[in-house]
Structure 1
Amino acid sequence: MSVTKIAAVKEGGTGAAPVEFTNSLGMPLREGLHFVHMTLIGAGIRDRIRLGASGKIISGADIATALALGADWCNAARGFMFAVGCIQARACHTNRCPTGVATQDAARQRGLVVEDKYKRVANFHRNTLHGFAEMLGAMGLDDPSQIRPDTLHIRATDPTSILHHRLKPGHLFEKDCPVAFADPWSLARVDSFRPADMAEA
């Protein structure tokens, strides 16, 4: 019996994250999700792992794009934070959030009027799902599970982008595997996340 594992691919996070981290480290969600999805296919284990995607998913189009790139489900926070009143003051870690969204300070929490905000959050959620359903209908689909990589045309202006590559099951073990996947695969280690030259030390 195969065991289903769950993995998450994400981008974003708290507005208090250092700018160097949010702007320079890791991969954007689209490329990262596609990379993980294709790597799992190339390794022949995609059917045993479920992928969740999170990061700047706000609209129905964002949901459709993430599903087309390989996500089995999406998590969203940013749009809901905006709906509840977040103004991206980037003070989440200071306990001085001016809108009362991210603080334990009772005086500041009074700025968030739950009786008003919950309606906005509910409306945002309902309208997002409605927009997503309209997109499915426009694509001639009955269910989100029918979305495939070729359902949407994902724009990638860089001709070397990994978004242009599609792997087949077991492709990582073949000589014609694209370099964008073969090189990281050859450097991967079971016992360490450290770079290969450092792991040997």
Structure 2
Amino acid sequence: MTETKRKRNFLKPLIIGAIAVVVTGGVGAYAYDKYETAQRAKIQEAYSNVKMNVGNQINQNNNNGNNNNNNNNSNNGENGANSNSQNTDQSSNVQNNNNNNSTQQNVQNAKSQQEIRSIVAQAISTPEQNINFVKIKPEYEDDFAYQNNGAPLYVYDVEARANGLEYDVVVDAVSGKVLKVEIDN
């Protein structure tokens, strides 16, 4: 009779421990699944707020201002005509240089890091002061060579943290166009 009692005392904690592990594992899996579902929804919402054409809007605003200046110069009489002919000569020189160096980007016209911060903030629909910029690195990127006649494109590789998410953003350093956005938790 003592042996039977010992076997029962030995099995009872094992069975209770096994049940506890199964229940705890099930609850943990359920909680993890809920967490993953919430994170996926958060990332999906962040992607829906991304604006890829931010750089183009900024350039369009700058171009509108330049067109207005050219129109004002042409309305200023002879001096305006002279400056227009000078502008035409300069633009034809630029076009000739562009034809000679069609694969080279003019990096002197690259955006500043502050401008890139502003573009990224607009792209991810978050105020700039709420973003922690981890990395803003200018580099030549082969992935976008098709946009630059086969030559590496000069871009800013930006890593930022905002809204509990990590953003990897690639911005064209010259035009300011947002080329790629990846979001991770």
Q: For this structure pair, what is the TM-score category when the shorter chain's length is used for normalisation?
A: under 0.3
TM-score when normalising by structure 2: 0.22
Larger helix percent: 2
TM-score when normalising by structure 1: 0.21
Larger strand percent: 2
